[in-house]
Structure 1
Amino acid sequence: MKAIIYKSKALLSDIDLNELLRKARIHNSQHQITGILVTVIDGFYQYIEGPEDYIDSLYHRIVMDERHHDVTKIYEHPLTHRRFHNWSMGYLNLIHVDDLAQIENHENTVEEFQALIERIMPLELDESLQLQTT
């Protein structure tokens, strides 16, 4: 197993995030991929984990996806156990400046990323949460 954290720029107003999450959850469930998608003002951070071949394939698809640009791999490492085992695709929208600063200034090791997500949104929440419109 392996994990990747990446960040990318995207024009979020052009993306149907509910549909993106629905499709990602189906695909990820079929391929034993778990993780979390974090939206920030100008794009995404994502942590994905699972079988190495599937993670490599998914990351390649993300890099080639025209909805993303400036895709940057922050972290890539083998795993002995899953960190987000209950989520085929968790979702977090960081709209608070403090939250955004925490993730953008973070060292982004898997443990630090998970700890940051847990501080912002406890892992007991399930992935069925839909996007909140404000």
Structure 2
Amino acid sequence: MDALYHKISQDPRHHKVRLLQRKPITVREFSRWRLGVKKLLDNDEYQDLIALLNMLGQAETVTEQQLNWFKLVVK
């Protein structure tokens, strides 16, 4: 992880990169979290995404945005 973090922090596309926490991990904290790509073909398929973006846009702070995001992801 250190090598990846260093690479990201040196990338000019990223600004003000900060390490928030460093600790040993014994168990995944977000075990259901999966990354992937989905092709959006049907308008109905991305209504949840539109609702999420609207909700995040209404948040007054970045912290509130992140909390709202995690509430939806961890559901």
Give the TM-score taking structure 1 as reference length.
Answer: 0.32
Partner of 1:59: 5
| Matches of 1:57 and 1:74, distance apart in 2 | 16
1:118 equivalent in alignment to 2:64: no
Identity across matched positions, percent: 33
Unaligned runs of 5+ in 1: 1-54, 105-115, 125-134
The DSSP-based 3-state class of the residue aligned with 1:95 is: helix
From 50, 57, 66, the equivalent of 1:95 is 57
Q: Which has the higher contact order (CA 8 A, sep 6+)?
A: 1
Relative to its length, the structure with more strand (as a share) is 1
For the 8 Å contact 2:8–2:14, the answer to whether it is kept is: yes
Give the TM-score taking structure 2 as reference length.
Answer: 0.50
Across the aligned residues of Structure 1 and Structure 2, the Cα RMSD in angstroms comes to 3.1
Larger Rg computed on CA atoms:
2
Unaligned runs of 5+ in 2: 37-51
Relative to its length, the structure with more helix (as a share) is 2
Query: What is the count of residue pairs matched by the alignment?
Result: 57
